[in-house]
Amino acid sequence: MNKNDKLLIVFLVPILLIILLLFKLTSVKSNKVANVYYENQVILTIDLSGEEQDYNVKGYNGNVKIKAGNGKIKVVEETSEKHLCSKQGYIKESYETIVCLPNKIVIKITSNNDLDATL
């Protein structure tokens, strides 16, 4: 390993850590809602303040079952080869994303800006 290799690591790792720290600090604390996208369309918005409940949306390969509430959300069941997105488990921060690639489903947590509802 030469000097430049070390510099690369010394430079890169802190920057990435700072970015992640910023994500963490700016993460939404209250009024959390989860947007469920199919491609770039929001197909379902779930208020995460309520009790935990099951939701079903249509993905590319068929039904995608989602469990959401109490500030967190996860994919329970979906049709794919590796089941990466159902293995991922819960996300609860706004910098986390669930990606069900084969199903073209993306789940992201955001704030609803103190709004009681949007339409």
Partner 1 sequence: MEIKKITRLSILLSLSIVLSIVESLIPIFNGIIPGLKIGLANIAIMIALYAYGIKEAVFVSIARIFIVGILRTGLFNITFFFSISGAIFSLIAMFIFKKIKIFSIIGVSIIGSIFHTIGQILIAILFVKNANILYYLPVLILFAVPTGLLIGYISKKSLTNFLEKK
Partner 2 sequence: MKRVLKLILILLFITGCSNSKVDSHNFFYMDTYINVKIYDAENTDSIFKEVDKIYKEYHELADRYHEYEGLKNVYYLKNNDSTDEIIKLDSKLCNMIKLGLDYNKKTNGSFNINMSNILDVWKNYREKGEGIPTLEELNEAKNKINPIILNDKCELSNNHPSIDLGAIAKGYATEKVGEYLRENKVNKFIINAGGNVLVGDHYNNDKFKIGLEKPDQTKEIYKVLKLNNKSVVTSGGYERFYTYEGKNYHHIIDYNTMYPANYFKSVTIITKDSGLADTLSTCLFLMPIEEGKKLIKDLEVDVIWYTVDDKVVTTEGIKNYE
49 binds, among partner 1, partner 2, none (CB under 5 to 8 A by kind): partner 2
* Order of strands across the sheet that contains 105-111: 41-47, 32-38, 105-111, 97-100
Single-letter amino acid code for the residue at 72: K
Scan residues 27-56 and list those touching partner 2 (CB under 8 A): 40-42, 44, 46-47, 49-51, 53, 55
Residue with tokens 């609803």: 112
Element (H, E) at 42: strand 41-47
Nearest to 97 by CA among 36, 52, 55: 36
**Integer Cα distance of 28 and 113 in angstroms:** 10
Q: Which is nearer to partner 1, 18 or 115 (CB)?
A: 18
Number of residues that bind partner 2 (CB under 8 A): 19
Question: Hey, what are 56's tokens?
Answer: 């079903």
In whole angstroms, how close is the CB of 75 to partner 1 at the nearest point? 11
**Integer Cα distance of 77 and 41 in angstroms:** 21
55 binds, among partner 2, partner 1, none (CB under 5 to 8 A by kind): partner 2
In whole angstroms, how close is the CB of 51 to partner 1 at the nearest point? 26
Contacts with partner 1 by CB under 8 A lie at 1-2, 4-5, 8-9, 12-13, 16-17, 19-20, 23, 37, 39-40, 81-82, 84-85, 87-89, 95-97, 99, 101-102, 104-106, 108
